[in-house]
Amino acid sequence: MSDADYDRLKQRNKAIEDRFSTEKRSDSPSEQIGAPVSEGFDKVRHAQPMLSLGNAFTNEDVIEFDQRIRKFLGVNETAPLRYTAEPKIDGLSLSLRYEDGTLVQAATRGDGEVGENVLANARVISDIPHTLTSVPAIFEVRGEVYMSTADFAALNARQAEIKGKQFANPRNAAAGSLRQLDAVITKSRPLRFFAYAWGEVSEAFAKTQSDAIAALSRFGFQTNPLTTSCDSPDAMIAHYRDIEENRATLGYDIDGVVYKVDDLSLQKRLGFRSTTPRWAIAHKFPAELAWTTLNDIEIQVGRTGALSPVARLSPVTVGGVVVSNATLHNEDYIAGLGGDGAPIREGRDIRVGDWVQVYRAGDVIPKIKDVDPSRRDPTSTPYVFPQICPECGSVALREQGDAVRRCTGGLICPAQLVERLKHFVGRSAFDIEGLGAKQIEQFYADGWIRSPADIFTLQARFGTGLQQLKNREGWGEKSAEKLFSAIAEKRQISFRRVLFALGIRHVGEASAGLIATHYGTWDAMETTLTTATIGQGAAWDDLLGIDGVGAVMATSLITAFQNDNERATIDALIAQLDVQEATAVAVSDSPVAGKTIVFTGTLEKMSRAEAKVRAEALGAKVAGSVSAKTDILVAGPGAGSKAAKAESLGVLTIDEDSWLAMIDGL
Ligand code: IVH
């Protein structure tokens, strides 16, 4: 129809909506283009988390991926096992939620748990249907928003004409366009969408990955034509080579090939690690390389005191992005030695002034692959790694077995303090909106925030009075208020986040979660760590009984909680917070919920890894060793000392069949 006819219908629709506001449809044209520019995007929690993928870089990695899966499933090398193989699109993922066939939400990945609802913008992408027929009542379709290389070039040309921003690559252009607050701008940027996965669905719609992709295509989505099905790692690798050869002619950027187990019931059994599925992997293309000169080596001091050398480079374009810094890892790496002490780069060291070869793999920090000694200035000398901390002047020591030299200044080192604070407010830690690395540096420099607890007393100290935050450069009344309320919101916080946020060495996100569920309350953990003796006693045994906690992490935890300075910092913080109790997954019908289980000996019906995952899914805790806290020992043939210990402690010991009978049907 003509524009005029369309406008007339739109006006009539609007008039009807004004009179009968309750009848307004969520896909109404009045809600779309021409709708007021939004002030920001609403946050939405994903019904199922949006995960990332593990990486494979070599053919061996692909073979190992297949072997790992077979081992987990307990099937031998020759049993048939199909995989799908499809390009990994270099864009950004989007989750489209359809309710009763109508698109009601379009969420970006965000941190994987919470994303932003960019519905108005998704609606102007022509590859995204507004309605679907014959789909489950709740149907979340996931895929990649991307921009073709031709559209990207045309966009940059248009931007140049209007002296607007130039985008570094199609991915950045797609991301910038999807997150426009004004959908009219998004509409002017030709975005596309490939569907390749799904989130919450109220009813199963396929039995295999290949069928699911075929169904998505029938429903009206674009699916990638290079998706194929393979029956062996060899076939997967052959398809990878094929796609790699055609990469330049596809018309859009891809950065690898994704392999997925085809059978969805096997995908379900394989399940997920904390952030990646066991049943899929991304086989990445080799990174692009470029030569440039190394102008300087700077030393940065991290939150654990690690002295990290950073290469300052003459800017060079690598894979469409200008690179001017690269990591040099540690002093051995600069000297030409690998982690095992054996030579790397045939023993060539790296010197200031050298020509170096730089590469970028995905989003990660650029690295240096090689150095060209034939172009080296003959008067150059090897780089001498500092033995004192450049930030606080304390001695920097390298402990035996540690590749890294560390500043011994602890909390007197300003660099360590600032980095700890940045970690504290990071995404997986307190994640305070409006308080990122930049603001932390600013507040630290002014002496307003010197420890985590200071964040929570900021409003009391600087909210009112002479030195009001709102009077400072970069802050106004609104932004100051917003910050204070974002901080207040985080007073109530999960146990695992607090523990991870403290940045205790060796305690990562996953371990923090395991420790939290083990102890349940902060007080219980604190009591254990305060009374524990390194290497012996009940508290020590209890710590080591947590799956994934070894002697190194346990020592690090005890040391942190028994050091006076550290402890004062921790206690001051806890006094400001309401730390939530951590509970293991509650599965009300499960007879093993809350129980501590140890597996030992050979399991015949499923691998140890699968048994553990299933037990945890039923709300049990799985421990690595038997103690007085163990409720059940599942012992297969060949069970040795653990079975003896369980017997002496009177722990219930059952065989694999009884275990399966116990969890039957769950
Ligand atoms: S599957 C549970 N398939 O890669 C895993 N992801 O590194 C679901 N991506 O966040 C992802 N092409 O944005 C899958 N064909 C493809 C993909 C793909 C691109 C992206 C996606 C994901 C990231 C993981």
- Residues whose CB is less than 8 angstroms from the CB of residue 446 and which lie 6 or more positions away in sequence, other chains included: none
Does 586 score more than 60 pLDDT? no
Output the CA 88–ligand 1 centroid distance in Å: 6
Residue-wise pLDDT tens digits, 629-664? 999 999 888 888 888 899 899 999 998 888 888 887
Residue type, 362: G
The closest-lying atom of ligand 1 relative to the alpha carbon of residue 277 is: 2
Helix (H) or strand (E) holding 368: strand 367-371
User: For residue 427, what pLDDT band results from cuts at 50, 70 and 90?
Assistant: confident
Choose, from 10, 88, 422, 645, the residue flagged as catalytic: 88
Nearest CA owner, ligand 1 atom 9: 88
User: CB of 197 closer than 6 A to ligand 1?
Assistant: yes
The closest-lying atom of ligand 1 relative to the alpha carbon of residue 227 is: 15
User: For residue 594, what pLDDT band results from cuts at 50, 70 and 90?
Assistant: confident
Q: Which of 1-5, 11-15, 256-260 ranks highest by mean pLDDT? A: 256-260
Give the range among 27-36, 393-402, 581-590, 618-627 with minimum mean pLDDT. 27-36
Output the CA 83–ligand 1 centroid distance in Å: 15
Pairing of strands 596-600, 632-635: parallel
User: CB of 281 closer than 6 A to ligand 1?
Assistant: no
Supply 265's token pair. 């019931």
- Residues whose CB is less than 8 angstroms from the CB of residue 294 and which lie 6 or more positions away in sequence, other chains included: 311, 312, 313, 350, 351, 352, 353, 354, 355, 356, 368
369 in active site: no
Give the range among 4-13, 313-322, 517-526, 648-657 with minimum mean pLDDT. 4-13
Query: What integer is the mean pLDDT of 521-527?
Result: 96
The closest-lying atom of ligand 1 relative to the alpha carbon of residue 260 is: 1
The pLDDT assigned to 33 comes to 45
Rounded CA-CA distance 644/626 in Å is: 10
Does 317 score more than 80 pLDDT? yes
The pLDDT assigned to 34 comes to 39
The pLDDT assigned to 23 comes to 82
Residue-wise pLDDT tens digits, 189-215? 999 999 999 999 999 999 999 999 999
Query: What integer is the mean pLDDT of 239-254?
Result: 94
Does 584 score more than 70 pLDDT? no
User: CB of 213 closer than 6 A to ligand 1?
Assistant: no
**Closest by CA position to 286, among listed 249, 240, 326:** 240
Nearest CA owner, ligand 1 atom 23: 52
The closest-lying atom of ligand 1 relative to the alpha carbon of residue 280 is: 5
User: CB of 174 closer than 6 A to ligand 1?
Assistant: no
User: CB of 51 closer than 6 A to ligand 1?
Assistant: yes
Output the CA 432–ligand 1 centroid distance in Å: 27
Nearest CA owner, ligand 1 atom 1: 197
In eight-state DSSP terms, residue 475 is -
* CA 503, 509, 511, 514 torsion-angle sign: positive
Rounded CA-CA distance 424/466 in Å is: 28
Does 132 score more than 90 pLDDT? yes
User: CB of 313 closer than 6 A to ligand 1?
Assistant: no
User: CB of 452 closer than 6 A to ligand 1?
Assistant: no
Residue type, 437: A
User: CB of 519 closer than 6 A to ligand 1?
Assistant: no
Does 283 score more than 50 pLDDT? yes
Does 361 score more than 90 pLDDT? no
User: For residue 474, what pLDDT band results from cuts at 50, 70 and 90?
Assistant: confident
Burial of 247 (C-beta count, 10 Å sphere; 0-12/13-18/19+): middle
**Closest by CA position to 521, among listed 503, 555, 496, 488:** 496
How many Cβ atoms sit within 10 Å of the Cβ of residue 321?
A: 15
Query: What integer is the mean pLDDT of 6-28?
Result: 78
Pairing of strands 632-635, 652-654: parallel
User: CB of 266 closer than 6 A to ligand 1?
Assistant: no
The pLDDT assigned to 98 comes to 97
Rounded CA-CA distance 274/287 in Å is: 26
Mean pLDDT, the chain, rounded, equals 91
Output the CA 38–ligand 1 centroid distance in Å: 28
The pLDDT assigned to 252 comes to 95
Nearest CA owner, ligand 1 atom 17: 88
Rounded CA-CA distance 409/414 in Å is: 9
The closest-lying atom of ligand 1 relative to the alpha carbon of residue 93 is: 13
Rounded CA-CA distance 66/262 in Å is: 12
User: CB of 258 closer than 6 A to ligand 1?
Assistant: yes
The pLDDT assigned to 371 comes to 97
DSSP per residue, 102-142: EEEEEEE-TTSSEEEE-HHHHTT-TTS-SB-SS--SEEEEE
DSSP per residue, 505-519: TT--HHHHHHHHHHH
Does 31 score more than 50 pLDDT? yes
Between residues 69 and 12, the one the model is more confident about:
69
Does 177 score more than 80 pLDDT? yes
Output the CA 53–ligand 1 centroid distance in Å: 6
Supply 100's token pair. 């009763």
The pLDDT assigned to 658 comes to 86
Output the CA 137–ligand 1 centroid distance in Å: 24
User: CB of 89 closer than 6 A to ligand 1?
Assistant: yes
Rounded CA-CA distance 563/528 in Å is: 15
What are the phi and psi torsion angles at 260 (to 5°)?
A: -135, 140
Nearest CA owner, ligand 1 atom 15: 88
CA-to-CA separations, 539 to 55, 534, 545, in angstroms, rounded? 38, 9, 10
Q: Which domains does the chain show, CATH number per domain? A: 32-284 (3.30.470.30), 289-375 (2.40.50.140), 410-490 (1.10.150.20), 494-580 (1.10.150.20), 596-662 (3.40.50.10190)
**Closest by CA position to 319, among listed 288, 286, 285, 291:** 288
CB 118 within 8 A of CB 41: yes
Give the range among 232-246, 482-496, 581-595 with minimum mean pLDDT. 581-595
The pLDDT assigned to 36 comes to 46
Does 263 score more than 60 pLDDT? yes
**Closest by CA position to 290, among listed 357, 352, 368, 353:** 357
Query: What integer is the mean pLDDT of 33-39?
Result: 48
The pLDDT assigned to 636 comes to 86
Output the CA 433–ligand 1 centroid distance in Å: 27
CA 635, chain centre distance (Å): 36
Q: How many CA atoms lie within 13 A of 614 on its CB side?
A: 21
Does 35 score more than 50 pLDDT? no
How far is the first Cα of the chain from the last one, in angstroms, to the nearest whole number? Answer: 56
The pLDDT assigned to 3 comes to 55
Place of tokens 């790496």: 333
Residue-wise pLDDT tens digits, 59-107? 999 999 999 999 999 999 999 999 999 999 999 999 999 999 999 999 9
Supply 556's token pair. 């690090």
Does 517 score more than 70 pLDDT? yes
Query: What integer is the mean pLDDT of 552-581?
Result: 95
Query: What integer is the mean pLDDT of 242-271?
Result: 95
- Residues whose CB is less than 8 angstroms from the CB of residue 59 and which lie 6 or more positions away in sequence, other chains included: 233, 237
User: For residue 445, what pLDDT band results from cuts at 50, 70 and 90?
Assistant: very high
The pLDDT assigned to 322 comes to 83
The pLDDT assigned to 9 comes to 80
